[in-house]
Amino acid sequence: MDLGDLVLVDDPRHPLNGCQGKIVGRRGLRIPDDLWMLVYVPSRMRSFLIPRSMLKMEERNDVPPRTLQ
């Protein structure tokens, strides 16, 4: 996951489960190998700190996949 990627909150324990957002920052480790991600959620018009383990990448059909050159 990188800055600007679209993500979906995918954990039933999280109050924003099912919400879409965009990664706008990283804020350190919650536990080893699990970063806090700063995610802007347009439906709430604010940003939230959400553990990376509770996010999954949003698949978009209208945008071609990124390629490394």
* Secondary structure (3-state) at 32: coil
CA distances (Å), origin 28, targets 13, 25, 32, 34: 21, 10, 10, 9
- pTM, 2 dp: 0.80
Q: Which pLDDT tens digits describe the chain residue by residue (69 residues)?
A: 889 999 999 999 999 999 999 999 998 888 888 999 999 999 999 999 999 999 999 876 666 655 565
pLDDT score, position 63 = 60
Question: What is the structure's pLDDT at 58?
Answer: 81
The rounded distance, in Å, linking the Cα atoms of 38 and 62 is: 25
